[in-house]
Every structure is written in structure tokens, then in C-alpha cells.
Amino acid sequence: MKGTPMNRKGICILVAGAFAGPAVADEPDPFRMSGTLSIGGLHTDTSDTPDASKLNEYRDLSSGLLTTLDVKGRNSRYWLDFFGENLGRDDQYLAARGGMYDVFKYRLYSDALKHNFLFNGVTPYSGAGTANQTATFPSLDKSTWNSLDIGYKRRDDGLMFEWQKSDPWYARVEANQVRWSGSKPGSSSQGTSPGNGFVELSLPVDYKTRNASVEAGYNTRQMHFDVSWLTSKFENDNDSVAWTNGYFGNGTDHTYLAADNRYQRFMANATFRHLPMGTTIAARFTSDELKSSVPLATSVLDGTGGQFTATNPSASSFDGKVRNNTFTLSAMSSPVTALDTHVYFNYRKRDDDSSVVSFTAPDAVESLPFSYRKNNAGFDAYYRLSRENRLGGGYDWLDTTRSGRDDFDQTTDRRLFLEWRNTSIDDLAARLKYTRLERDSSFLHGNDGVSSSDPAFLNRFVSAFDLSGVNQDQWKLTLDYTVMERLDLGFEGIIKTNRYTENTLGRLKDDRREVYLNASYSFPAGARFTVFGDSEEIKYDSQHRIIGDGSLSGAYDPNSPPVAANYNWGGNIKDRNWAIGAAFDWPATEKLVIKASYIYYKTDGLVDLSLEQGVPASVTQPAPIPNWDDSKRTSFTIKAVYKYTKAWSFTGGYAYEKYDYSDSQYDGYQNTIAGSSNQNSYLDSVYSRPHYRANMIYGLVNYHF
């Protein structure tokens, strides 16, 4: 596993912070220290795994040293917690927090993470993962390629200090820096059509985000008020990636990356409590601004001979500027005994004041800023009919107007919920909730096109599901049952259905059903056992239209009878997920505790494609997709902790993980797809071999003080 140099400043700050507490140890009120220091090792065997990146997706499970330090210090004035683990590993974590009671508190931390995407991949490019990736195409012999790992390291170093001495006034400052370095998966078409082949790229990730905020407030049991200001600066060392495009004559093409941006936010919060009728009023206002300035490219690689075409931008740069203003006001009351009410209003406004830029070539294109305004109001109320029964209900209204979308300019959502909570059976708590959402949308293409052979006519039937009219029904039932003194059962079930009322093409319906069951038993001798099972099914139904001959009558009308060239087809997607798991915790003797956990998680996707009734038999039937992110993950871990003395204990453990994966987009995967006239595709293996099998053993010596 690769590492990056440790930030010496970060370490110094943490060490200094850790010593801030002990500095007071000589005072009459002793500073009591307690904690645990653990040191040991981990051995991982993945010998038959070609790409262990999925195993190590967010974890560093490579063989090596394991360390943990957990220290607490206390006296009646000061406190300190220090925690460190995985020192020197890619997922190292260090944190110190402490302070002086009622005077100040602080926190310092450094949290590292490695996000791995690919080990042992290959690429025809030199300089993969950098801003300049070169190759000479065609390059169909992958024995000449370079090896490739893709992943980035993310490290978040930060601090917080809060001054509480002037209670009820307080002040707080926070700052952190998040550094990302490495690479992430990317790709690009070679020409402007996927028919010209594509290449997978390893895009450089050299980001830095620096955040700082200051907050001051007044806080009592009767009221709270605070104002804060936050600034966040994102910097990317690379504006774009230059890469060799084999289709465009081995010319240098560019993929553009996220540009630097700067974000600022002002926020004010207020709460007033103990008002008449048990009322609490809360309010929040925020105003933020996001800016980015991007120089515009004046040419693009645009020919199989490697020639460039001038884009003729209307300005030399794009000045991005988005402002958000939000306001929330809510009131909670208990006007009569057993009745709790809540009324609220939310306002959200996004103004995209970015400059509008246009290009005349290779295509005449103009940018389109996107803005919206949302007004949301609602109320809910809960009434306790008796000690065992509580009824709740509420209504929510959301009106959104938009500019910058050509399909919808307004939507109105109305949501109603009813809830019943019951505890009339001893040791059984039940909660049933029903929610109904109805959305009306103002669709702007309802009169497009003059006839069914006009291409624009099809727009009448195309409405994106994110904003189209929908009826949503959701049922949720939760049960918690203590069957007997030591046996608890839990149940959670959900049924959620969306029906898109105005859609002829696109998504028509989606549906989710999930049932979760768990049981836990505690043995009188102290052992505990828990088991759970979960079953989930998610379905998406959609309809689409192939238009092979636009000149035929009814070509752009999905309601017209199908012909061999023009017809509708449907997609029915099912994701079925199952999980079972069990864990036990067994104090075998006074000194020995054994813990184990087992999980089996299976995902099973299926895509069923079908042609509409009446399509001529000459049309090729679509083939269903039986493997659609099918996976099986088995995790087993067992560990024993032996308490040798009060000061020393030993931990030993074994873990096994196996991940199997099958998917129609990756089964039979190759690194090249040959095409004519330099229209080859080149793939680097990312996501193609996520399966792994790992055996891990580890041991730790723990010193308690």
C-alpha cells in the first residue's frame, strides 16, 4: 500500500495539544489519567485476488503494524481525551480534545483515508494519473502497456476552539484542511460519438479544500442566538488533463476538471423557548455565495487528422456565481394537554448569476444558468389519546419555480402523513405511518410539434421523472417487542411506490419494499446473541421509443401503432437484496471474552426488456440482463480478549471476507475493443475485478493504565 508523507505540522499540533492537559498535572487537584495502549500486527492473505482494491476500498488491511492509543485525563477543572489508531497506516486517525470545564474546549484531529479503485490495472498511457497522459495509437497489444493503480488519499486536518467562560455568551472557531492526492477513474469518448470508441483515463486528484468558520452566540435555557461566517476554498492543481486521442489522429485532447471555487456563508440562528402555550419559536437565515472563474478554451481537437477547430467563445473566461438565500421559521407548541403542534415555513432561493457564454463552433452552443425558488409551509400535530395511543398527522406544501430548465418551470408538492403509535400491549411498541405525496408539474413541452411526424412532437411525451407529476404512497411499520425478560425482537417494514402520472416515455413507476427482522437474547451468564435478516426489492419500470424512420406517419407519437422501424419498448428493473447476520459476545471465563460476527449480503439485479404488443416479428427482441450488479459478500470475524492482569490483556482474532461479483457490463471483460479506422476502445480494468478473498489474523498486546 502506498503512503504519502506525513504532515509534520499536523503531528506537532497534535502532540502539543496532547500535552496541554498534562501540563496541569502538578496542581493540587490531581489530573487522573487512564487509558489503553495497544500494539500488535495484522497479517492479510489475498494471494488469489488479482485486484484487492475493493477489499481496501476505505480500509488499509495490508499486513503490518497495528496500534491504538486511548487516553483520558480528568480532574475537576480540566479534561483531555486523546485517541490514535492505525498509526502510520493509510487510515491513520489522531484526535485530541479537551478543555477546562465551563471555560473553553478544543479539538485537534487528523483523519486519513485511502479510497482505492484499482490495483494491478493496465493502461496504454504513460503518465496515467497525471495532467499529461500520452500514448501512440493504435495500441492493441496490452503486453506493451503500463501497470496502473487508481486511488487517492484524503486527509482531513482540523481544529476547533470554543470559549465558554463568558456564559451565556460563547465564541467558537473551526478550521480544517482536506487534502486529496492520487487519482480517480475517468473516461472519455474519442470522437464526439461513442461509436468512435472510448478510452478509460486515470484522472489526477490533487485537491485542497480549506474551511474556516467563526461563530458567536448567546445561549440560555430560554433562548439561543448565534451568528456565524464560513469560508471554504477549493483548489485543484489541475484544470484539465491532456491525453492522446487515437481517433483524432493521436492529437492532444483535453478533459476539463473541477475548477477552483470559493464559497462563503453567513448564518444566523435563533430559538425562543418557554413562550405562552409551551411554545418554542426557531428561526434560521443563511446567505451564501459560490464563485468560480474558468478560462475558456478557444479550440478543440476535432478531426481525424488531428486538426483543431476554433470555438470562438463570447468571452475569455466564465465567471460562475451562485447565491443561495434561505430562511426558516418554525413554532412548536403544546396548546392543550397531550397535544403537540408544529407549524413551519421554509424559503430556499438559488440565484445563478453566472455569466452566459456562447460558442459558435464546432456547434453553436450557449450556457444556461439554473435558478430556483422554493416556498415550503406545513404543519403537524400529535395528540396522545391515552397513555398507550398517540395519533399524529401533518400536511406539507412545497411550491418551486425554476429557470434554466426547458421542460418544467414550476412544480407543487402536497404531502400528507398520518401516524399511529401504540404501546397498549405490554412490552410491545408499534408505530405505523402512512405518507401520501402528490406533485403537480407545469410541463412546457405539452404542445410541441405540429404533427406526429415532426421530431419535436416527441417532446410532448418526455418528462424527466425528477420533476414530473407523481403520486407517492409510503407505508412504514416499526415494532419493538420484548418477548420475555432477555429476548427482544424488532421489525421494520416499508412499502414505497411512485407512480409518474404524466409520463408516457421515461420512468413510469418505481417501487421499494423492505422487511427487516432482528432478535437479541442475553443469557443469564452474560453471553449475548443477536441475529438479523433483511429482504429488499426495488423495481423501476420505464417505457422508451425507437424511431428508426422519422418520415413515417406517427413516428414521433408513442401512441401510434408499432411498425418495424418505429416502436416502443419497456424496461423492468429489479434489484433484490438479502442480508443475514449474527453476532455473539461470550464471556467464557472471568478473564476471557470471545466475540464473533457473521454477515452474508447478496445483491441480485435483473433487467427485463420487452417490446410493445404488435411489434413485427422481424424486429430483434431485446435480451434480458440476468446479472446486474450481482454480488455476494461473506464476512466473518472472531476475536478473543484475554485479561491477563489488571494492566495487561491480549487480543487475538481472525477475519475472513469473500466477495463475488457478476455483472453483464463486466463479465467477459477485455482491455481492448477493436474498431475500424482507429475507433478502438481502451479499458484499464477499473471496476472489472472487484471480487476478492481475504484471510486475516491479528494480535494485540494491550496495556491499561
Partner 1 sequence: MRPERFIAALAILGWTALLPASARAEPAVPVCAGCHQEAHASIENTLHGAKNDAMGSMCQACHGDASEHLKDPVQNKMVNKFAHATASEKSAVCLTCHGGNRHLAFWESGKHAKNEVACSDCHNIHDKAKSLTVAPFTTSSRPIEADTCGRCHKQVRNATLKPSHHPILEGKVKCSDCHNPHGSVTPVMLRQETVNQQCYSCHADKRGPFVFGHPPVDENCLTCHTPHGSSHEKLLNDKAPNLCQDCHVTGKHPTNFYGSGQAWILPNGATNSAPNTRFIARGCLNCHNSIHGSNAPSSRGQALIR
Question: Which residues in the 498-557 window bind partner 1 by CB under 8 A?
Answer: 505-507, 514, 516, 518, 520, 528-530, 532, 534, 536, 540, 542, 544-547
Choose the binding region for partner 1 from 24-32, 118-126, 127-135, 434-442 (rule: CB under 8 A).
24-32
Q: Rule CB under 8 A: is residue 119 a binding residue for partner 1?
A: no
Within positions 248 to 307, which residues make up the interface with partner 1, using CB under 8 A? Answer: 253-259, 261, 263, 269, 271, 273, 280, 282-284, 286, 288, 290-292, 294, 296-298, 300
Of 374, 368, 328, nearest in space to 352 by CA = 368
Q: Answer yes or no: are the C-beta atoms of 397 and 429 closer than 8 Å.
A: no
84 forms bridges with which residues in the sheet? 69, 94
**In sequence order, what are the beta bridge partners of 161?**
106, 173
Judged by CB under 8 A, the residue of 71, 122, 135, 148 near partner 1 is 71
d(CA 339, CA 358): 58
| Residue 101 interacts with partner 1 (CB under 8 A): yes or no | yes
Which span (128-136, 143-151, 436-444, 600-608) binds partner 1, by CB under 8 A?
600-608
CB within 8 Å of 276: residues ≥ 6 apart? none
Q: Which of 46, 51, 84, 148 binds partner 1 (CB under 8 A)?
A: 84
Binders of partner 1 in range 121-160 (CB under 8 A): none
Q: Which of 276, 131, 106, 287 is nearest to 205 (CA)?
A: 131
Burial class of residue 204 in the structure, from the number of CB atoms within 10 Å of its CB (0-12 exposed, 13-18 middle, 19+ buried): buried
Check binding of 441 to partner 1 (CB under 8 A): no
Q: Decide if residue 181 touches partner 1 (CB under 8 A).
A: no
Please report, as residue ranges, which positions from 2 to 21 form the binding site for partner 1 (by CB under 8 A): 3, 5-6, 8, 11, 14-15, 18-19
Candidates 126, 134, 189, 435; binder of partner 1 (CB under 8 A) is 189
Q: How far is the CB of 72 from partner 1 (least distance, A)?
A: 6
User: Looking at 237-338, which runs of residues are DSSP E strands?
Assistant: 240-245, 251-256, 261-275, 279-295, 299-301, 308-310, 317-333
Looking at the Cβ atoms of 471 and 518, the one nearer to partner 1 is 518
Vertex 80 angle, CA 232 and 22, to 5°: 120
Considering only the stretches 86-94, 119-127, 133-141, 145-153, report the one whose residues sit in contact with partner 1 under the rule CB under 8 A: 86-94
User: Among all chains, which residue has been given the C-alpha cell 509534520?
Assistant: 8
CA angle 649, 654, 655 (to 5 degrees): 130
Q: Could you say which residues in the range 196-215 bind partner 1, by CB under 8 A?
A: 197-198, 200, 207, 209, 215
CB of 212 or CB of 283, closer to partner 1:
283
Q: Does the footprint of partner 1 cover residue 108 (CB under 8 A)?
A: no
Q: Which of residues 557-596 bind partner 1 (CB under 8 A)?
A: 569, 571, 573, 575, 577, 579, 581-585
What pairs with residue 115 in β-bridges?
A: 152
Q: Within the chain, what is the greatest distance between any pair of CA atoms?
A: 95
25 binding partner 1? (CB under 8 A) = yes
Indicate whether 51 belongs to the interface with partner 1 (CB under 8 A): no
What is the smallest separation between the CB atom of 325 and partner 1, expressed in angstroms?
10
Strand partners, 506: 543
Contact 622, 611 (CB under 8 A): yes
Residue 549: count other Cβ atoms within 10 Å of its Cβ: 11
Give the footprint of partner 1 on residues 333-362 (CB under 8 A).
340, 342, 344, 346, 348, 350, 352, 354, 357, 359, 361-362
Residue 162 one-letter amino acid: E
